Amino acid sequence: MKQLLTITLLFIILSCGQNNKSNRSDLLTSSIWTIEKGSIDGFPMMTEKYKFLTDGTCLLVTGETEVYGKWSWAKDDEIYIKPEGIVLNGQKIKADRNYGFYIKTVELTDKIFRTLERGEADNWNSGLIKERKYTASRVGV
């Protein structure tokens, strides 16, 4: 009986963790995330949009440049993005570097996506962390 109770509790705990990650993935992929004006240092008029797709691909649009790649949860609150290339003037150009970056989810709701972002070679205490705030929209990237 004790063993059955332990197995049941373990199953419930594991199920809740998967649902939490699934819920966050659903929120993340439900919108196009547009950076708030002034959130990009030195470029107050620059726009930046993320689109995370359920198949693990993502698109980042900054001005006229599109960066495409793969995304996955690295930890419960951390996303790893691996750029694969860019689209410039309608042409796909494969990335020649094998370098990604991390996005720590500070807040994720159906309207707000607040993050801390760092390069793959940096750590969270490096001083090179960028804080960003995105708002949800349903319009195309």
More confident residue, 116 or 1: 116
Residue 46: what pLDDT?
A: 64
CA 11/CA 21 separation, integer angstroms: 16
Segment 40-64 mean pLDDT:
81
Most confidently modeled range among 14-18, 41-45, 54-58: 54-58
Output the pTM of the full model: 0.75
| 65 band by pLDDT with thresholds 50, 70 and 90 | confident
Is there a contact between 57 and 67 (Cβ–Cβ < 8 Å)?
no
At 39 the pLDDT is 53
Q: Say yes or no to pLDDT of 43 above 80.
A: no
CATH architecture of the domain 2-137 equals Beta Barrel (2.40)
Q: What is the dihedral of CA 112, 113, 115, 121, to 10 degrees?
A: -170
At 100, is the pLDDT very low, low, confident or very high (cuts 50, 70, 90)?
very high
Within its chain, how far is the Cα of 57 from the centroid?
A: 10
User: How confident is the model at residue 17, as a pLDDT?
Assistant: 43
> Which pLDDT band holds residue 111 (cuts at 50, 70, 90)?
very high
Tokens of 11: 């199953």
SS3 for 39?
A: coil
